[in-house]
Chain A
């Protein structure tokens, strides 16, 4: 049995331990915001945070998350400045890549309050948007960075919820 913390809640799974985390999140815990695009770590649609780092869940065997903290798009709880910026800049087209884009961008802002254009591109260039909404993704990241220039707080329910568990 593998135990971990998913969006602040302690959970466990009994699936074969080579199962990619993506399918556990989506099909066992029914959190469908994390998407399947390529299955080979090349598109970023499945990006989640493991202990605050961006990880491609489609290639990440669930056995490696034992005792770790996982945050998915649902775990941002609609409170992350990036989500607001995404609406303000009207970023999504089909929207399928956007959970992954937001999760990837969130780890940039967590460590870099005011990223330059270059830093944004370097951090985001492994996330494919097939609708090619790239200009707006870039713009929204800047908007979010500016809106929180004081403190960039990355909302992580795992950090809040952990004590109670």
Chain B
């Protein structure tokens, strides 16, 4: 979800002045809290009073240590390290003296605070400028102290050097006085290093958060303890909305040692509907009590809804030409259909899925002097804070969120709905509480990725060329429920579209006639809360787009790579725009050609083996990460088991800030993609996902890891995100490889051995028949 947060970050950092001032014994630097000209008059005063944007600020102390403070979530992407490298590079710091501090929110900042995975893409320029401003301030002060002229000096490795003489950052800070404001215009005019002059960016380093994650000292939300706290566990109602409690019977719980009682939660924000929380002196007692208490509900109609019903509704919607809103409308699809020699049609599905971050959601809450202190891991405080304020019926100034490491996010921790039961229970019970969801509680409450249906129609002319594609898709939309302010007006002005559930359909293939309809599946929306899951829309839309591209290639007797290349001509809207999508579709063509040789495409394969290809431009057209993937698979025709032997990927993400970290991100993403393709799927039964723990939900394990060959394009282009795009190409590449190996075309995710067997059997009986 770096895109969503990216928007936030951009709002926060662009058009801001930069403050440099001495505070106490340190030199502090930060972006001003107010945008544009309405700046703080006095940098020192503003910094001392913490009136600055808390997103990133840094300080240099008398020992010359550079402390980079980041008010953001570390979910395993080592983002703190990447951001610190950008600042440190421009600053001219000595890397061994750079430290990262993850800061708490401060009531003074109110809801200025943005959590969330800070996308390097949106922060690269402001952070480079901030580092450069710091460098200039240090250089000028250092020159004065050395009795030299600024232009005779340079900044290297934590020192200002003027010819023979030099002075360390530490000495400059302790001897100099700073009070300076860089305006937006001055910042923009600062010289930023070019690729080859960079010292840290593009070079490997040890991520700063890793050592604490090898010895048990990394502190996650679940590790928090506060004085006088008791333990709590929620009793999650049978579905998300519309359940009301008719009776609570705790007769079987009263004899459990440590059981303290329960609270029925009334939530003015209506995030929780029909919730009870159990209290106990130990968490184990809370677990047992939660199991023992019997809650009776007046159940919501949603508790009768199944996945199949939602998908049937999706099928119906995609076939209804009046359903949904126009997302893409180029040329004239009807005309193309009429003139076509062949029409091709295919419909693809994906099943519900869970994020399943390994740390179950939790929050520890205490009220101190009327202020609600929340200890938890959350990715997007500015989305969550208003909700908590509503639930508690207080202003946001009365809430402080303390940030910890996140034991996985994948989009689950963007929305802080799991904090609500904790704050309401603490308020009702009048004591600090630590609320932990068991794994089953967490799964049942978690907003799953919505099941989806997408329908494609292609027209092919007499010359065997594809002339148009019509594409319609239906799913539940996360943004509609959780952040409707990010929805945008459709082309036909019929209504709003969830951008994060549509990105991926507006691809970079040049098609004269192309129409895309985005449809909200209301049955899905009303049954459960759809979640943003790592890679969001592209995660399931690319599965349809890239499978269908392969089907067209096969139907027109073309090599799947040649066919794609013929549509990636970089013409018209696919030419791209500098700087973000410089060269447009041609960069996609480039990674595709690279992966062709990297994977030995077309080389000899063993029996029942196949290779399949898929490409993606990542999360959105305005922030493209160009990726091509080839999967090499083996299919066991007697039991339907698919073994992925190798995944080869070529990635163009512009400038790579932290190569090893980037590789780790893509490795994780690719294996996620593999897990979603073959191992997951969590169907909704009775209004809730049906697999709540690892005895039934079976993500990828070490034994299923194939050989990975991931290569990055060397590039000076602007740096873009990597947390998500690695996921998306894997499923369609595998499906396409299975089709090549066996002729079996799978159109439903996850791909199950049974589906393959079924298909082979039908083919066999057709032959005989």
Contact = CB atoms under 8 A, between A and B. Distances in A.
* A and B bind: yes
Interface of A: 15-16, 19-20, 23, 27, 30-40, 42-43, 45, 72-74, 76, 78, 83, 86-87, 90-99, 102, 120-122, 124-138
Contact of B671 (A35, A134, A138): A134
Contacts of A98: 213-214
B121 interface: no
Nearest to A22: B284
A120 B290 CA distance: 39
Given A86-B214, A121-B702, A135-B705, 4 more contacts: A42-B694, A93-B77, A94-B409, A96-B405
Given A15-B282, A95-B218, A98-B214, A134 B702 contact: yes
B210 A132 contact: no
B287 to A, nearest CB: 8
B216 A87 contact: no
B1 interface: no
9 contacts: A23-B282, A32-B223, A37-B358, A40-B694, A87-B206, A87-B211, A96-B408, A130-B356, A132-B672
A72 B77 contact: no
A13 B218 CA distance: 26
Contact of B358 (A16, A73, A94): A94
A150 B225 CA distance: 43
B213 A92 contact: yes
Given A15-B282, A96-B408, A40 B702 contact: no
Contacts of A96: 220, 357-359, 405, 407-408
Question: Chain A: interface secondary structure?
Answer: loop
Contact of A30 (B218, B225, B356, B703): B225
A45 B218 CA distance: 14
Nearest to A118: B703
Contact of A132 (B217, B439, B675, B693): B675
Query: Which 10 pairs between the two chains have the least Cβ-Cβ distance?
Result: A33-B216, A95-B213, A96-B407, A93-B76, A94-B76, A132-B671, A42-B694, A92-B213, A73-B216, A32-B223
Interface in B686-709: 693-695, 699-703, 705, 708
Nearest to B440: A39
Contacts of A133: 664, 667-668
Contacts of A36: 222, 359-360, 436
B214 A87 contact: yes
Contacts of B282: 15, 19, 23, 27
B357 A130 contact: yes
Interface string B409-425: 11000000000000000
Given A74-B215, A83-B214, A121-B702, A93 B664 contact: yes
B257 A16 contact: yes
Question: Chain B: interface secondary structure?
Answer: loop
B703 A121 contact: yes
A32 B219 contact: yes
Contacts of A95: 76, 209-210, 212-213, 218, 405, 407
A128 B694 contact: yes
Nearest to A33: B216
Given A42-B694, A90-B207, A96-B358, A132 B668 contact: yes
Nearest to A75: B216
B125 interface: no
B257 A90 contact: no
B75 interface: yes
B322 to A, nearest CB: 41
B717 interface: no
Q: Which of B210, B219, B220 gathers most chain A CB within 10 Å?
A: B210
Given A92-B210, A134-B671, A37 B359 contact: yes
A138 B701 CA distance: 12
A72 B216 contact: yes
A36 B442 CA distance: 12
B327 interface: no
A131 B668 contact: yes
A130 B210 contact: no
A31 B215 CA distance: 11
Nearest to B211: A87
Contact of B439 (A39, A83, A102, A131): A39
